[in-house]
Amino acid sequence: MNDKLEIYCLNNRHSSIICNFLEDLEDIVSEATYYDEDYEGFKDVIDRLIVFHNGVGFHAMDGDIDNMSWYLSMPNIVYWAVVGYFAGLTRKKDGNMDEYRKKVLSLIEEVIKDLEMSLLIQPGTESESKINLN
C-alpha cells in the first residue's frame, strides 16, 4: 500500500480499522507470494482499490450511495480482488493457496465485525454526513 495515498474514512475509528486491515492483508499476501514482483503487483491492486473506495465515498457524500454501503465497502471489494489475485499466483513449492484464502476470509470477517461494532461505539462524527480524510 502506498503510504502517501489517502484513504477516505468516516472517522478515526474507521480509519484505524481499515489501515490495520490493509496492513494485515499485505502480510498474508506477502507470505503467499513466491515472486517479489507478484507482491509488488498486489500493492498496485490495493492502491487502485483505495482510489475506488474513495470514489464511492464521494458518491456517499452526494447521497447517491448509502453511507453504510460505502462504510463496509473496503473489505468486500478487497475479497474479490484477492480471490482473483490468488488465482493468478505462482504457488510456493509447499504452498496450498486454500490456507491463504482462509486467512484472508477470516481477516475480512473480523474486519466487518469490527466495522459494525464501531458503529455501535461511535455511530458518527461531529458532522455525521461528512467524510473525513484520515
Q: What is the DSSP string of the chain?
A: --TTS--EESSHHHHHHHHHHHHHHHHHHHHH-SSHHHHHHHHHHHHHHHHHHHHHHHHHHHTSS-HHHHHTHHHHHHHHHHHHHHHTSPPPTT--HHHHHHHHHHHHHHHHHHHHHHHHHS---TTTT--EE-
Per-residue pLDDT at 120: 78
Structural domain boundaries of the chain?
A: 8-133
pTM, whole model, 2 decimals? Answer: 0.81
The strand pairing partners of 132, in sequence order, are 9
The strand pairing partners of 133, in sequence order, are 8
Per-residue pLDDT at 97: 81
Per-residue pLDDT at 103: 93
Are the C-beta atoms of residues 31 and 97 closer than 8 Å to each other?
Answer: no
Mean pLDDT by 10 residues, the chain (134 residues): 79 90 92 80 90 90 84 90 84 72 94 89 51 45
Angle, vertex CA 94, rays to CA 80 and CA 111, nearest 5: 30
On the CB side of 27, CA atoms within 13 Å amount to 8
φ, ψ of residue 133 in degrees (nearest 5): -85, 125
Per-residue pLDDT at 108: 96
